[in-house]
Amino acid sequence: MKIVCTRSELLKGANIVSGAVSQKSTLPLLSNLLFEAKDDKLSLAATDLEVAIKTTIKAQVLNEGGITLPSKLIADIIKKTATEEIEISVDEQSRVTVKSGRTKYFIVGTSKDEFPGAIDLDNGKKFTMPASVLKEMLIKTKFAVSTDETRYALNGVYFIIDKGDMITVATDGKRLTYVKKTGITSKQQSMNFIVPSKAIEELLKICSALPNEDVEIGISENQIGFQIKETVLRSRLVDGNFPNYEQVIPKETKGSFKANVKELLAATERVALVASGRPVPVKYSLSADKLLLYAKEQGKGEGSDEMEVTYKGNPFEAAYNPVYVVDMLKTLDCEDVIFEFTTAVNPALMKPGDDSGYLYIIMPMRLD
């Protein structure tokens, strides 16, 4: 193999696929990037056997072929090259030469034949949707995914496709986020599946880089693939049963207030500063068109803030984890948020003032 490519193209490709590189595998090959040159294009790929990513970049292909190279080493070399043009060549013994200006590197590569199978879009049920819509849905759900590895079915985002609509749900047992978009697929398609958190993180990066493109999604029995232009991400699906999220969403509430998103976010963050490394409950006390926020950590201090809200009703107070409140507010790009409640011990419901398709359920905390 022998190719000539620009530094910017190589960096772009390496950055896209490097998220799939295994960080803790006992198989050294999974710490490598696969380079394959053909038809004046260079494809780069990486996998940890759970998630795989492949992308294609522009290159001048002098000799077709392929090789795998240590991911961190080749990425560091590309970043430090003195010139924009880089030449990569491979001999029959898998020895690799990288040239850039007067700089030259010799690297020991591994045959491409030892790299795990092809990374293509799965054959099976397929549909297409705007990358911008998928990006929005992932941003509004991924932060609630559980990090507890013993709760395997919660270690991803749950997708429901039904009658043309798409729903994404995530929960860690203490909060739940739900997003619904209509008219995404054909009304004949019906399926549900759980995409693991690592795949969600990498997919979000790809959607963010190409928000104006469409993403094609292919689902088989235990795998899912996403393709945006020249980039394909393939992932195993989580093998588990997601809990009945509909039971968690309050069917009715007894009160609600409307607040400015930026003001509530800033006030919650200010009051929560009294915590030392762990979230302390923030008490939200409501009276006529006024919200008082208060937090206290024993032996350290206390903080309070006050803001105007839209509220008509009896005085009410409840405490919530400020991290959970802030996480949701940071995903909003509208002006107002609506906060609905029943009692101080029941789940509360947060939603944007302009979009009923996004719901966030949060459990209250007990005040000491």
pLDDT at 368: 66
**Same domain for 109 and 209?**
no
pLDDT at 235: 95
Confidence grade of residue 26 (pLDDT, cut at 50, 70, 90): confident
- From 196, 195, 197, 146, select the one nearest 172 (Cα to Cα): 146
Q: Which residues pair with 38 in a beta bridge?
A: 41
How many folded domains does the chain comprise? 3
**Same domain for 242 and 261?**
no
pLDDT at 215: 96
Average pLDDT over residues 256-267: 98
Tell me, what CATH number does 185's domain have? Answer: 3.10.150.10
Answer yes or no: is 216 within a domain: yes
**Same domain for 88 and 170?**
no
Q: How deeply is 277 buried, as exposed, middle or buried, from its count of CB atoms within 10 A (0-12, 13-18, 19+)?
A: exposed
**Same domain for 236 and 267?**
no
Domain boundary among 90, 114, 138: 114
Domain boundary among 225, 246, 267: 246
Confidence grade of residue 316 (pLDDT, cut at 50, 70, 90): very high
Q: Which residues pair with 175 in a beta bridge?
A: 362
**Same domain for 106 and 131?**
no
Confidence grade of residue 354 (pLDDT, cut at 50, 70, 90): confident
- Given a contact cutoff of 8 angstroms between Cβ atoms, the answer to whether 204 and 139 are in contact is yes
Q: How far apart are CA 344 and CA 330, in angstroms?
A: 24
**Same domain for 265 and 240?**
no
Q: What are phi and psi of 211, to 5 degrees?
A: -70, -20
**Same domain for 233 and 256?**
no
Type of residue at 57: I
Answer yes or no: is 208 within a domain: yes
**Same domain for 235 and 255?**
no
Token pair belonging to 55: 């992308």
Average pLDDT over residues 32-48: 95
- From 163, 166, 146, 142, select the one nearest 215 (Cα to Cα): 166
Mean pLDDT, all residues of the chain = 93
Q: Is the pLDDT of residue 190 over 70?
A: yes
Q: Vertex 311, ends 337 and 270: CA angle to 5°?
A: 55
Domain that holds residue 90: 2-114
- Given a contact cutoff of 8 angstroms between Cβ atoms, the answer to whether 101 and 83 are in contact is yes
**Same domain for 156 and 107?**
no
Answer yes or no: is 297 within a domain: yes
User: Using one digit for the tens of pLDDT, what is the confidence trace for 235-245?
Assistant: 999 999 999 99
User: Using one digit for the tens of pLDDT, what is the confidence trace for 117-144?
Assistant: 767 776 678 899 999 999 999 999 999 9
Element containing residue 208 per DSSP (H, E): helix 197-209
Average pLDDT over residues 81-93: 94
Confidence grade of residue 290 (pLDDT, cut at 50, 70, 90): very high
Element containing residue 137 per DSSP (H, E): helix 131-139
- Given a contact cutoff of 8 angstroms between Cβ atoms, the answer to whether 114 and 29 are in contact is yes
Q: What percent of the chain has pLDDT over 70?
A: 99
The string of DSSP codes covering 68-110 is EEEHHHHHHHHHH-SSSEEEEEE-TT-EEEEEETTEEEEEE-B
Q: How far apart are CA 120 and CA 48, in angstroms?
A: 15
Element containing residue 232 per DSSP (H, E): strand 231-236
Answer yes or no: is 229 within a domain: yes
Answer yes or no: is 129 within a domain: yes
Q: What percent of the chain has pLDDT over 90?
A: 82
The CA-atom distances, in angstroms, between 158 and each of 191, 232, 313 are 11, 20, 36
Confidence grade of residue 191 (pLDDT, cut at 50, 70, 90): very high
Half-sphere exposure of 100 (CA within 13 A, CB side): 19
Average pLDDT over residues 201-213: 95
Q: Is the pLDDT of residue 365 over 70?
A: yes
- From 338, 351, 282, select the one nearest 310 (Cα to Cα): 338
Least confident of 71-80, 135-144, 250-259, 272-281: 272-281
Answer yes or no: is 119 within a domain: no
**Same domain for 103 and 212?**
no
Element containing residue 177 per DSSP (H, E): strand 175-181
**Same domain for 288 and 337?**
yes
Confidence grade of residue 304 (pLDDT, cut at 50, 70, 90): very high
Q: How far apart are CA 213 and CA 191, in angstroms?
A: 24
Answer yes or no: is 48 within a domain: yes
**What end-to-end distance do the CA atoms of the chain give, in Å?**
67
Q: How far apart are CA 368 and CA 361, in angstroms?
A: 23
Q: What are phi and psi of 198, to 5 degrees?
A: -65, -40
- Given a contact cutoff of 8 angstroms between Cβ atoms, the answer to whether 159 and 201 are in contact is no
**Same domain for 158 and 172?**
yes
At residue 15, the 3 state secondary structure works out as helix
Answer yes or no: is 46 within a domain: yes
Domain boundary among 246, 272, 300: 246
* Residue indicated by tokens 């995530």: 170
